[in-house]
Amino acid sequence: MREKTVLVTGGARGIGAAVCDAFLARGARTAFTDIDEEVGKAREVELGGREKALFIKADASDKGDAERMVAEVVSAWGRLDVLVNNAGITRDALCARMEEGDFDSVVRIHLKGAWLCAKAAHKQMRAQGGGRIINTSSVSALGNVGQANYAAAKAGVIGLTKTLALEWARYNILVNAVMPGFIDTRMTVPLPEKVKAMLIEKIPLGRFGKPEELARLHLFLAGEGGDYITGQVLCADGGLTAGF
């Protein structure tokens, strides 16, 4: 990954942080965004400073921020080779009890945010002769109780991924999605132990995934292994959906 430049939205914590670590370990210059400036700046220092790891405070679902984050990466390093659309939130509730604002906010950050950031990256990638975009879906896209907003957004990400792959292949911009199962992050920490045990019983590998395991999938799609892969959804769920 040396000489490559990478932008990871929502990269200060969880899966995004692991993805940043993986690309940096392979020599890529890596920028990441978060809305929490204090956490982002501390993470930037931890990763070695702005020559290698550039923090950009930004809301991925805001058009101006999406365009600005790409511009800052290009200003710092001259190009953008890989965009990882990872930023996300959850606002879980049974559908009949879900507030309209919670539905809108989850769809906005996951789906609209991925669209806006991809559009902004497309301009630069097309000008430089190509690039990779990796979107983040979820096994919840197949349906999950209490997550009508999240499931709808993540299903939308799959449709967005396939459409962008078809439209942008001519520019050598490869667009794929990862579909994580249950990963051990701060989003799964609040789950009651009884619920975690029930979920683990359904996972053939018998455990939640690790963020660094998912990060290695991103490296594959961004590297030579992904040279002939576009419009695909790669599932990393410990076998959870194998029988679906």
Contact 17, 94 (CB under 8 A): no
**End-to-end C-alpha distance for the chain, whole angstroms:** 35
Exactly one of 32, 103, 115, 150 is catalytic; name it.
Answer: 150
Q: Which residue has the tokens 């599932």?
A: 235
Q: How far apart are CA 9 and CA 94, in angstroms?
A: 28
Strands 53-57 and 82-85: unpaired
User: How far is 4 from 113, CA to CA, in rounded Å?
Assistant: 23
Helix ranges restricted to H, 87-230: 100-107, 113-128, 148-168, 193-202, 211-222
Q: Which of 82, 75, 81, 28 is nearest to 56 (CA)?
A: 75
For residues 213, 134, 57, 115, the Cα torsion angle rounded to the nearest 10 degrees is -140
Nearby residues of 3 by Cβ (< 8 Å), 6 or more positions away? 27
Q: Cβ neighbours of residue 90 under 8 Å, at least 6 residues apart?
A: 106, 147, 150, 187
Q: Tell me whether residue 228 is one of the annotated catalytic residues.
A: no
Side chain identity at residue 144, one-letter code: N
Catalytic residues: 150
